[in-house]
Amino acid sequence: MDTTLQDPLVGQLLDGRYRVDARIAVGGMATVYRAMDTRLDRVLALKVMHPALATDATFVERFIREAKSVAHLAHPNVVAVFDQGAQGQYVYLAMEYVAGCTLRDVLRERGALRPRAALDILDPVLAALGAAHRAGFVHRDMKPENVLIGDDGRVKVADFGLVRAVGSVTNTTGTILGTVSYLAPEQIEHGTADTRADVYASGVVLYEMLTGAKPHSGESPAQVIYQHLHEDVPPPSAAVPGLAAALDALVASATARDPEVRPFDAVALLAESQRARAALTDAELDAVPPQATGDAPDRADDRTSVIPRVLPVGQGTAHHTSRLETPPPPPQPPTGRPGGSGRSRAPRRGLVTALLAVLLVLGVGGGVWYINSGQFTRVPALLGQTQKAAEGRLSDAGLDVKEVRRAYSDTVDRGTVIGSDPKPGAKIRRNNSVTLVVSRGPEIVTVPDVTGVELAEARRQLKKRGLVPGMVTKEFSEDAAADEVLRTDPAGGAERHPDSAVAIVVSKGSPVDVPDVTGEDVEDARAELEDAGLRVEVAPGRVSSPEDAGTVARQSLAEGTQAAEGDTVTLTVSKGPRMIDVPDVTGKKIDEARSLLEDAGFEVKVDRPFLSFSDTIASQSVDGGDQAPEGSTITIKTKGL
């Protein structure tokens, strides 16, 4: 039975614009419908908050926040939000409609995916999250249900309903908001989330794509939460033997229980994902996983929930002791690679080892030099160097940068190397890799007061303090010049961690009331608009309109609209009304004659002679068959006595 028939919204016209055609999905806070925008004639998705929640200001604010946040993320892998509004008890978002399925649907149907397919999905997901992170937002509810895969293969991230600004306070009193299977330990323990919480959830999603199952499971959300806090996410190869070590390392990096060990944001994790892909062979990328059924539908731990945050006594800090270890590569079969000679390589390795031992014992000059010197170099001095300079020194020494970790320092400037692994001076094989530890500056920085400075200078000052210039919005101001900063969020003087985003509100200058210039001569209209402080452009070509030829038919900013000084108004010039044929209505009754003329595009005036009681048309002001301007008035006259 089609349950949409029982839905009161299906078949209705919401807000006089959106025709609700079918119900797509039902969630804990909203229902999603397929709808038609009757104004623009396009299919879209309507996300309608459950009426019972529409009276809760917190949920309504979250709904509106989703619309505003995503509206600023013009990214091909983010589901676009077109509109937000309300009608009675229905609060809604009008969103891009993606014909296809969710990643959850794929996992239920197919189970584990090949590594290539998993990375093909992961990378656009990270690109979308990275755009949000660099714009100053955290998703906070990353899971397969929120990954849409279109019929055309496009991957998009949806449901930014729990989004928060990166630097804003996200903790709640005694509760956690999210989906337990994908919550980072710090979300559970402290109720806080930054970009690294999305990184953790993305790592869990990758594990699930590679294995067909979640890394932590239990009979209750509490059991899953306990595992997040006290158990590392296992390597995917433990569930699917033969998966490449690079995939294990990628999952381990993203899901480290200590957030300081994870990549800082989705952009950094995307870089790691691309490096891992480059290290894999085609055979490793296309390894066929074993059959897996995935999770049963509608599990409680798949849903976004509000969960009491209660931790066992003495178990609140266990995840701080976790270590990131790269699992060893899978053992090679004794017969060598497929397609080879089939001979065992073990005796040859044993012979090489024995020969090297003999060379060492006998001190054979060339061999000893090669083993003790030619193969090795020393890590150059790196401390106090900028990251770029340190990378250059390593390259000159024939060494690569394995990864760059960041740590707080109250004494060393941001961007300066404070350590390495191995340490400077240590002996290391040539062509090996070194991990750099770079200062993030002090653990807490003060947001500078940039009120009154120009936007470019405000961004420079924020970056100098180690903060990230976030979303920029503009509003009118009678007191500040255009492009001048009005305020920031957080405000100047607030304390934040380095790399936190700071939203900026910039002045558009004093508002200008746009005058109505339709029907005016083009040059007169131009002068009037320019006198008001606006720029004028004239659209190419002319259009038919009721206005006289050569006058303004329409303007891009309507009368009464407030614009900023210097904004552009585009004028479209009239070529006069369209001439159309006039129907012959003589001999017809008044109602029929009126209908014929109005349907043809004319206004109608009825003239009844004095003491005339006839409703039959005797004459018309423009004869039938002649032409008259569209919209002009035709007078029809009834028969007299």
**Enzyme catalytic residues:** 141
How far is residue 230's CA from residue 623's CA, in Å, rounded to a whole number?
Answer: 91
Residue 68's nearest CA partner among 169, 136, 129, 128 is 136
How far is residue 40's CA from residue 83's CA, in Å, rounded to a whole number?
Answer: 12
Structure tokens at 540: 């190419």
Structure tokens at 421: 């692994």
How far is residue 473's CA from residue 504's CA, in Å, rounded to a whole number?
Answer: 6
Which H/E stretch holds residue 35? strand 30-37
Dihedral of alpha carbons 66, 72, 75, 80, sign: positive
Query: Omega of the bond prior to 422 within 30 degrees of 0, cis?
Result: yes
How far is residue 436's CA from residue 387's CA, in Å, rounded to a whole number?
Answer: 8
Structure tokens at 388: 């770029």
Dihedral of alpha carbons 480, 481, 482, 488, sign: negative
List, in sequence order, every beta strand (DSSP E) within 365-522.
376-378, 400-407, 417-421, 427-429, 433-439, 445-446, 468-475, 485-489, 495-496, 501-507, 511-513
Contact 208, 107 (CB under 8 A): yes
Contact 493, 447 (CB under 8 A): yes
How far is residue 481's CA from residue 503's CA, in Å, rounded to a whole number?
Answer: 19
Query: What is the three-state SS of 201-220?
Result: HHHHHHHHHHHCCCCCCCCC
Contact 193, 138 (CB under 8 A): yes
Cα distances from 232 to residues 228, 318, 467, in angstroms, run 7, 11, 31
How far is residue 358's CA from residue 344's CA, in Å, rounded to a whole number?
Answer: 23
Contact 420, 455 (CB under 8 A): no
Euclidean distance between the first and final Cα of the chain, in Å? 68
How far is residue 276's CA from residue 405's CA, in Å, rounded to a whole number?
Answer: 17
Q: What is the length of the chain?
A: 641
**Running DSSP on this structure, what letter comes out for residue 259?**
G
Contact 400, 431 (CB under 8 A): yes
